[in-house]
Chain A
Amino acid sequence: MAEIVLDHVTKRYADGTVAVDDFDVRIADREFVILVGPSGCGKSTTLNMIAGLEDITEGELRVDGRRMNEKAPRDRDMAMVFQSYALYPHMTVRENIAFPLKLAKMGRAEMDERVERAAGLLDLAPYLDRKPAALSGGQRQRVAMGRAIVRDPKAFLMDEPLSNLDAKLRVQMRTSISRLQKSLGTTTVYVTHDQTEAMTLGDRIVIMRAGLIQQIGPPQELYDHPRNLFVAGFIGSPSMNVLPARLEEGLLRTPIGDIPLRGRLRRATEGPDVPRDVIAGIRPESFEDASLVHDTDQGGTFTGTVDLLESMGPEKLAYFTLDTGAVRSEHLAEAGGEEAGEGCQLVAQLDPKSGARRGAPVRLWYDTQAVHLFHPKTGENLTER
């Protein structure tokens, strides 16, 4: 149990690469924090600095108020789960799990009891005498978890622990990690590049890009109030629709119709630094089949031809191509946004009762209150400042 403070931490590698730039986060005791961002944004580097596997170039790492910068990994009392699991191939599952305890010179009886308990929690009891080579991917992952939880450390550090599993197993393990962390109450820092994992697991998400923190907050807050275009594009699946838009007297002209600038939209566009051409963002679930909406006056409507229809069960996803150029922004490409070839793509999430059919036109309603406006250069969310 511990509070972990990263106080303006920077990492510069020997070759000059600044992998983490002025990282400043306070992680509360028992908190589950997710570091998320595209590959190469500095997540692992940050985690390794917490673990002591990488030196901190600038700034301070404090655990429960004590400076840790110079402490060796073994003196930090943290457990780490690696993407490759890093199981010791020459040891049995039991020996793997017991390894940290053995190094801590724990007595035989207590060690056995703890290993049995960890194995019980993770359904590993039948495999204790096997070597890692004789286990499936999911079982290996659980052994790595077992090795972490067995010693009751100050914190768990996990670096993409689920990304080598198949989709179904990943979802299962996601819930069990979540449950485990809640029941053990151990401070956890979890690295992933998968926004779904980030949204479902964490108490708070730290979203990074090119070594810089973009936004910190609970999942819902990042979803509802993305601070910039990068966060907006990264969080949410399918991702937010982005459309080119133009501000004209009292109106926002978009490819899906004109939106009157009232309330928050007007306030957002009032600043002196707001250009004429902006980027409008609207999430797929802010759309609905207009025939299923009672009061279409509260919002906008547009009619388009369905390119593609995906029935997901509880919802339908309708894809449209708007006859306007797609938004090109450096803030989107990195976030893994759709690299639209030609034309502007739009995805709408509709009620399964919708009569939308592929190749046929459909009238959609959308919630104008849910529209975000972004600065085309800086990517800043104008509606959230």
Chain B
Amino acid sequence: MNGGKGRALTEGQRAERRLGLWLCAPAALIMVVVTGWPIVYSVLLSLQRYDLRFPEDKAWIGLSNYATVLTSEVWWNAFWVTLLITVVSVAIELVLGMLLAFAMYRAIVGRGLIRTVVLIPYGIVTVAAAYGWKYAWTPGTGWLAGLLPEGSAPLTERGPAIAIIILAEVWKTTPFMALLLMAGLAVVPEELLRAASVDGATLWQRFTRVTLPLMKPAILVALLFRTLDAFRIFDNVYVLTNGSQGTGSVSISAYHNLIGGLNLGIGSTMSVLILVTVAIIAVVFIIGFGTAAPGSER
């Protein structure tokens, strides 16, 4: 809300502000109930020793769950695997998404068809798609596994399994990236590109010197959305490897501790750490936005 000049609000402004608050209130209340409370509850759980197998041992233990998790090799392995999946898949999605966005935006014939086809993977439920990939890579039954040398079972080896997880993730979410980037392409005025070509720019120079800088805010939004999503990757990993061979993501670890291990304290600690990491990523991007909007600063 813009506060007008100086501190004092007129009666009208104050009334408007009050109305604004009232209008937000229902949404804010629902947010508090469905997300705020679980977060607070997780933080509370993370400060306790609380294993459902030994409920009588429940106690407040301060930050020692955090010490346990942060010194655990399993956690750090999951963390680095998640980071690897995030960085590699988002990078590939950005490049592919940009190409698809151009194809969708520039297509002269069959624009509707191209857009529909591109969006299909995004319309399929992640778990269903993940099972598709799983069967495809399972020796004996899978069409993709059949292309590999006899006797190889890629989902049972760490490197190949992570590569397949990335592949499934990229296949699934590149269309989303492409959609966001296409919205960014649309904000670049056609006349600027014409001006650049008269000024002597090649197609590539028009892209790097005009289109990309003007799209920067859209690219950052797309990267932010995708990075946050990718860091919380769960479905694909759960279906494809369930975290075996050291392929688990941080969300998988949290899940195993909470649901499989019934260790609410450790599981909640991991959840809180994921939240903190995600918040750090978001803040970094938001600082990036501040310097990204072209032409807004003098």
Q: Which residues of A line the B interface, CB within 8 A?
A: 51-53, 72-74, 78-80, 82, 84, 86, 88-90, 99-100, 103-104, 130-134, 147, 157
* B contacts with A: majority SS: helix
Residues of chain B lying within 8 A (CB to CB) of residue A79 = 198-199
Docked complex Cα distance between A104 and B198 (Å): 12
| A-B complex: 4 closest residue pairs judged by Cβ atoms | A89-B295, A90-B294, A86-B195, A103-B200
The answer to the question of B36 belonging to the interface, with a C-beta cut-off of 8 Å to chain A, is no
Cα A86 to Cα B201 with chains together (Å): 14
Are A147 and B199 neighbours in the complex by a CB distance under 8 Å? Answer: yes
- Interface-located stretch among B39-47, B186-194, B221-229: B186-194
Name the residue on B nearest A100 (C-beta).
B199
In the complex the two chains form, is A82's CB within 8 Å of B191's CB? yes
A133 to B294, CA, bound (A): 10
Contact B198 A74 (CB under 8 A): yes
Q: Does B7 contact A (CB under 8 A)?
A: no
- Given A90-B214, A103-B205, A130-B298: A74 in contact with B195 (beta carbons within 8 A): no
Residues of B contacting A51 in the complex (Cβ-Cβ under 8 angstroms): 198
The A-contacting residues of B in range 250-298, CB under 8 angstroms, are 294-298
Check: B119 CB closer than 8 A to any chain A CB: no
For chain B, the count of residues having a C-beta within 8 Å of the partner chain is: 22
Contact between A53 and B214 (Cβ–Cβ < 8 Å)?
A: no
CA distance A73 to B202 in the complex (A): 9
- Of B198, B200, B205, B295, which one neighbours A53 at CB under 8 angstroms? B198
Q: Kindly report which residue of chain B lies nearest to residue A150, judged by CB atoms.
A: B199
Least Cβ distance of A91 to chain B in Å? 8
Residues of A within 8 A of B191 (CB): 82, 84, 86
Whether B197 contacts A133 by the Cβ 8 Å rule is: no
A53–B197 Cα distance when bound, in Å, is 8
Determine the distance from Cα of A137 to Cα of B196 in the docked complex, in whole angstroms: 20
Q: What residues of A have a CB within 8 angstroms of the CB of B294 in the complex?
A: 89-90
CA distance A132 to B213 in the complex (A): 15
Chain B residues closer than 8 Å to A99, beta-carbon distance: 196, 199, 209
> How far apart are B292's CB and chain A's nearest CB, in angstroms?
10
Q: How far is the CA of A52 from the CA of B296 in the complex (A)?
A: 32
CB nearest to A78 among chain B residues:
B198
- Chain B residues whose C-beta falls within 8 Å of the C-beta of A90 in the assembled complex: 213-214, 294-295
**Min C-beta distance of B201 to chain A, whole Å:** 6
- Separation in Å of the B175 CB from the closest CB of chain A? 28
Residues 163-202 of B at the A interface (beta carbon under 8 Å): 189, 191-192, 194-202
Q: Can you list 14 contacts pairing A with B, beta carbon distance less than 8 Å?
A: A51-B198, A52-B198, A53-B194, A53-B197, A53-B198, A72-B197, A74-B198, A74-B202, A82-B194, A84-B189, A88-B192, A103-B201, A132-B295, A147-B199
Are A134 and B200 also in contact (CB < 8 A) when A80-B195, A88-B192 are?
no
Q: Are A74 and B200 in contact (CB under 8 A)?
A: yes
Q: B92 to chain A: which residues have CB within 8 Å?
A: none
Q: Are B295 and A80 in contact (CB under 8 A)?
A: no
Assuming the contacts A131-B297, A132-B295, asked whether A89 and B214 have C-beta atoms less than 8 A apart, the reply is yes
Contacting residue for B198 out of A80, A84, A131, CB 8 A: A80
* B81 on the A face (CB < 8 A): no
- Could you say which residues of chain A place their CB within 8 Å of the CB of B201? 74, 103
Q: Does B88 contact A (CB under 8 A)?
A: no
Whether the pair A73, B197 counts as a contact (CB closer than 8 A) is yes
- Enumerate B76-127 residues with CB–CB distance to A below 8 Å: none
**Complex contact A104–B200 (CB within 8 A):** yes
B195 closest partner in A (C-beta) = A86
On whether the beta carbons of A88 and B210 are closer than 8 Å, the reply is yes
The complex places the Cα of A52 from the Cα of B297 at a distance, in Å, of 34
Which residues of B are found within 8 Å of A104, using beta-carbon distances?
Answer: 200
In-complex Cβ contact of B189 among A72, A78, A86 (8 A)? A86
With a CB–CB cut-off of 8 A, which chain A residues contact B214? 89-90
Q: Which of A72, A74, A131, A147 is close to B295, meaning CB atoms less than 8 Å apart?
A: A131
Residue of A nearest to B214 (CB): A90
Best-surrounded residue of B192, B199, B201, B214 (most CB of chain A within 10 A): B199
Bound complex: CA A174 to CA B298 (Å): 29
Given contacts A103-B201, A133-B295, contact A86 B213 (CB under 8 A): no
Do residues B295 and A86 form an inter-chain contact, with CB atoms below 8 A? no
| Given A53-B198, A89-B214, CB of A131 within 8 Å of CB of B298 | yes
Distance in angstroms between the alpha carbons of A73 and B198 in the assembled complex: 5
- Contacts A133-B298, A157-B198 supplied; 5 other A-B pairs, CB < 8 Å: A53-B197, A78-B198, A86-B192, A88-B210, A89-B295
Residues of the A chain whose Cβ atoms lie less than 8 Å from the Cβ of B195: 80, 82, 86, 88
Cβ of A101 to closest chain B Cβ, rounded Å: 9
Complex: chain A residue closest to B296, CB-CB:
A133
- Expressed in whole angstroms, the minimum distance between the Cβ of B3 and any Cβ of chain A is 24
Q: Give A48 Cβ to nearest chain B Cβ, in Å.
A: 8
How many whole Å from B123's CB to the nearest CB in chain A?
A: 32
